[in-house]
Structure 1
């Protein structure tokens, strides 16, 4: 009888093993697969006020399972996210585990890259990231993987935290100009792409602060009490979501827009459906918004990328 094999990837090993461009490709494929019914994915378990998250997903055809468990603490703990992401296969005894905080940052960056690749101006040059925590660097890496960005502004509560975030990534992109800001509303003016990665409970800017044709990724707020734009402003945009059931239950922006009548559920179009049909793209006259609360297929996609690109032995 063959021996089982359990392999663990810590944060550094995971990032070394899988390129952001590969994760973007796998997340794109997984979102299309989600639209086409290829996954069994229950609504995630978030007990209490969201201090813990458990996110399972099964890919039906391959009989593979990814399960992520996280603790989320935004009250000063570093890192704010901590946990494990595991991969199981029905046909082998192989078990693969990875650092969930690093995995979440990478796959969350990747979904922003997928959305920006579809919806942002092809010649987008200016990126603004609001938030300087653990998720922010991969937002930068992912958008720069799909667009010819020449200027990146990081806006945070303090200029010092924005500068610290920039210091984590500027060496990777020597030809890009980085700017630190403590004024989010000013930072979005004129930006081609905006990525929001905060646990904010109040809107960070208004629709009128954005230029026509801007694309916004709302990634940070994942509970009903959180919002990075107002529901009214989100309803004014050309809107896409990662999963209708998930955002209707968990996104403060979407819940507000639905409750006030700015949106109806039929207005919620998934990014996967837009990718599958190929009929959507950049509209220079309209602001586009992609709202994600995070769905488990993104975790599955990252682990699929890890399995595909790494020689990990298993049992037959």
Structure 2
């Protein structure tokens, strides 16, 4: 069995290739059981941690795979200067169950999450989208900027974060990686959002950061951070103004606070969700319908994305 490190994953993957692999996976007949959630109480008033088990497998036959991701989410790790998310991914032969590799799950997760947003953006953002705002400067942020820039002609990306130092560190870390993109740090979130074609959020905020009245006509809002019903990155005005899209109905309609909370309170109904990535990738919904339409994509993640990414890494590794 092979151990695949974070560095090997980064050296093997590219954003365009992974976006295509995800599109293929959403068109295929993968089996994706509902993921397991196990809350883990924390001492000293820290936020509750979570253990996630995420299995998936391809149709049976030669060249089939089974994969499981094990993830721990510890929101309190920020005070320890540690990542909030750790994970490992076990990829096995689908015919025999024999383990093939253990991949760095943390790296696999940020890559597939960013590329899922980029895949959605191909359907939902304007084709001429050139101005992006990145809300949050954590581990996902650099990947989201690069992934969106891989599918749209991004020329400017403004970064907002509660810690301005982290925002500047993100700009420095991206130097040379997105050579055609002008990277800036902003302290005025409203002004930045009002100018943006794409607004991408990757935070663990419990209160809305993005207001619907800030979004200009034709904007695309990409909500990635909130992973429980108690988290909100956008307000009700954004949800009611935008055409709503999600990654999966089984996940987002149960876990995504930006969708679940407004539905629970009667602000919108489930019928307001126009399509998920399965329906978009299979041509059952066209996505954006006009240049003026405001679109919102809410992602909570799915084991299908992890398996597709792990398979792409495995098939691309040098022998």
Instruction: Give the alignment's TM-score, normalised by structure 1.
Output: 0.91
For 1:41 and 1:231, locate their aligned partners in 2 and report how far apart those are by CA, in whole Å: 30
Give the deviation of 1:286 after TM superposition.
1.3
Report which stretch shifted further, 10-19 or 183-192.
Answer: 183-192
Which consecutive residues of structure 1, in runs of 5 or more, have no partner in the other structure? 1-5
Q: 1:56-71 counterparts in 2 under 5 A?
A: 56-61=55-60, 63-71=64-72
Q: Which residue of 2 aligns with 1:290?
A: 297
For 1:171 and 1:299, locate their aligned partners in 2 and report how far apart those are by CA, in whole Å: 27
For 1:273 and 1:240, locate their aligned partners in 2 and report how far apart those are by CA, in whole Å: 10
For 2:104 and 2:91, locate their aligned partners in 1 and report how far apart those are by CA, in whole Å: 12
For 1:265 and 1:50, locate their aligned partners in 2 and report how far apart those are by CA, in whole Å: 29
Which of 67, 87, 90 lines up with 2:94 in the alignment? 90
Which consecutive residues of structure 2, in runs of 5 or more, have no partner in the other structure? 40-47
Cα-to-partner distance string for 1:263-283 (whole Å, 9 max, x where unaligned): 322333212202211623352
Give the deviation of 1:217 after TM superposition.
0.9
For 2:55 and 2:99, locate their aligned partners in 1 and report how far apart those are by CA, in whole Å: 17
For 2:17 and 2:290, locate their aligned partners in 1 and report how far apart those are by CA, in whole Å: 27
Q: Which residue of 1 aligns with 2:45?
A: none
Q: Which residue of 2 aligns with 1:3?
A: none
* 1:44 and 2:45 are equivalent in the alignment: no
CA contact (8 A) 2:204 2:231 kept: yes
Q: Which residue of 2 aligns with 1:309?
A: 316
3-state SS of the aligned residue for 2:244?
A: strand
Cα gap change, 1:282 to 1:164, in 2 (>3 Å):
farther
Runs of 4+ in 1 over 3 A off after TM superposition: none
Q: Which residue of 2 aligns with 1:148?
A: 153
For 1:134 and 1:254, locate their aligned partners in 2 and report how far apart those are by CA, in whole Å: 24
CA contact (8 A) 2:227 2:300 kept: yes
Which of 275, 278, 284 lines up with 1:272 in the alignment? 278
Give the deviation of 1:231 after TM superposition.
4.0
CA contact (8 A) 2:123 2:286 kept: no
Cα-to-partner distance string for 1:152-180 (whole Å, 9 max, x where unaligned): 11110022111111122122123321111
CA contact (8 A) 1:231 1:255 kept: no
* 1:11 and 2:6 are equivalent in the alignment: yes
Q: Which residue of 2 aligns with 1:198?
A: 203
CA contact (8 A) 2:35 2:54 kept: yes
Which of 223, 226, 247 lines up with 1:242 in the alignment? 247
Give the deviation of 1:31 after TM superposition.
2.1
CA contact (8 A) 1:44 1:54 kept: yes
CA contact (8 A) 1:131 1:154 kept: yes
Which of 151, 168, 176 lines up with 1:171 in the alignment? 176
3-state SS of the aligned residue for 1:172?
A: coil
CA contact (8 A) 2:137 2:166 kept: yes
Instruction: Give the alignment's TM-score, normalised by structure 2.
Output: 0.90
* 1:258 and 2:263 are equivalent in the alignment: yes
Which of 21, 26, 41 lines up with 1:26 in the alignment? 21
Report which stretch shifted further, 276-285 or 108-117.
Answer: 276-285
CA contact (8 A) 1:104 1:299 kept: yes
Count how many residue pairs are aligned between Structure 1 and Structure 2. 303
Q: Which residue of 1 aligns with 2:142?
A: 137
CA contact (8 A) 1:196 1:228 kept: yes
